Amino acid sequence: MGATERDQDGTIAALKKVAAQFAVAVTPHLQAQIDPSDPQDPIARQFLPDAAELVTLPHEREDPIGDTAHSPVAGIVHRYPDRALLKLVNVCPVYCRFCFRREMVGPGSKGLSTEQLDAAIEYIAQHPAIWEVILTGGDPLIVSPRRLKEVIARLNAIPHLGVIRIHSRVPVVDPARITDEMIDALKSSDKAVWLLLHANHAREFVPEAVNAIRKLVGAGVPMLGQSVLLKGINDSPAALTDLFRAMVANRIKPHYLHHGDLARGTSHFRVSLAEGQQLMRRLRGHVSGLLQPTYILDIPGGHGKVPVGPVYAEPQDDGSWQVSDPWGCSHQYDDPATR
């Protein structure tokens, strides 16, 4: 056996181990976009398993954002008073290698049973403080349009709900699922249905994806973008600019840039907070204000999401403020309202 063959056997064994721990799936749509000659291909790196996932660092957790601590009934995560997650399914058309719910999602995990869905919807109906329901999972747009329409109808009947929000990656990873029936289901509510698209690289915006997005926005579904900051995929000013331009050019407002969660086996994707702030500084002033998301950390342990800078204004001992401009120069601001 030659050295390369041995290496290949080793790699295959490692990948089998990865697949035994974490779900693996790639849609034919994405498969077709991978450039096999590029070892750093941003599509391949996001979706194809890597032996590096077998490395778990001490600070990594099975439930990095504390979903279980805030789950009163199956399928519901209620951490903030005015909004709750409703996890219809635990499956996705693809499995992102950096997924923050990687211990919970996968083809083996069960979605909600009829009784569990009834109980989850009852929980929302019994809590008038809940103004917004966020369908997430798993990817909620993997369910059939008929089932989605049913769920939307039941949510639509709850008077205190103002908004139904859907978190999905489907328009870019499996755009063929955005059929006329799916659009019809999304349009079937009197309440606003917002769609938050998860996308991390400009290469995800191929013509099929752009068409799916055009259908959605054309149907009056407002869209926001959420991305994860990922080492070697989008951790450069150019990659982030291209990504956010692709969103805005397709009528999607970049909303959150997530600092990577401490999920097991994801250290090869990790960028430091300081680097993240530096990248955000680079965007401010250099590219359109429409392109600027909020840089967000979900504090490990279920303590909530907060913006993590960068900070441009700092109070001084003399009561004035030091404010830095987009190019890094400091200016003094005497706040007339406190004088």
Ligand X SMILES: *Cc1c(COP(=O)(O)O)cnc(C)c1O
Nearest position to ligand X, beta carbon? 79
Q: For 269, phi and psi rounded to 5 degrees?
A: -100, -5
Identify the active-site residue in 99, 177, 256, 270.
Answer: 99
Q: Report the nearest approach of ligand X to the CB of residue 85 (Å).
A: 5
How many residues make contact with ligand X (CB under 6 A)?
Answer: 9
Residue whose entry in the numeric block shows the structure tokens 């109808």: 153
Q: What is the 3-state secondary structure (H, E, C) of 146-207?
A: HHHHHHHHHHHCCCCCCEEEEEECHHHHCHHHCCHHHHHHHCCCCCEEEEEEECCCHHHCCH
Query: Residue 166, interface with ligand SF4 (CB under 6 A)?
Result: no
Show the tokens assigned to 293.
């998301």
CB neighbour list of residue 216: distance below 8 Å, 6 or more residues apart: 171, 178, 183, 186, 195, 223
Judged by CB, which is closer to ligand X: 70, or 154?
Answer: 70
| 92 touches ligand SF4 (CB under 6 A) | yes
Nearer CB in complex with ligand SF4: 97/149: 97
For residue 112, the 8-state DSSP code is -
Active-site option among 45, 87, 92, 203: 92
Instruction: Give the one residue of 99, 124, 195, 262 binding ligand SF4; rule: CB under 6 A.
Output: 99
Smallest distance from the beta carbon of 136 to ligand X, in angstroms? 8
Candidates 25, 50, 61, 80: give the one binding ligand X (CB under 6 A): 80
Q: Applying CB under 6 A, which part among 44-52, 80-88, 109-117, 308-316 lies near ligand X? A: 80-88
Per partner kind, with CB cut-offs from 5 to 8 A, the member of ligand SF4, ligand X, none near residue 105 is ligand SF4
Q: Which two tokens stand for residue 266?
A: 């994801």
Given ligand X, ligand SF4, none, residue 172, with its beta carbon under 5 to 8 Å by kind, binds none
141 is an interface residue for ligand SF4 by CB under 6 A: no
Contact 14, 51 (CB under 8 A): yes
Q: Which stretch binds ligand SF4 (CB under 6 A): 32-40, 52-60, 93-101, 308-316?
A: 93-101
* Residue 101 within binding range of ligand SF4, rule CB under 6 A: yes
Nearest to 83 by CA among 131, 127, 123, 137: 131
96 binds ligand SF4 (CB under 6 A): yes
Instruction: Name the CA radius of gyration of the chain, rounded.
Output: 21
Whether 218 contacts 180, CB under 8 Å: no
User: Residues with Cβ < 8 Å from 7, sequence gap 6 or more?
Assistant: none
Which of 61, 79, 191, 214 is the catalytic position? Answer: 79
Q: Is 305 a catalytic residue?
A: yes
Are 284 and 292 a contacting pair, CB within 8 Å? yes
Residues within the interface to ligand X (CB under 6 A): 65, 70, 77, 79-80, 83, 85, 134, 305
Question: Which residues are the active-site residues?
Answer: 79-80, 83, 92, 96, 99, 101, 261, 298, 305
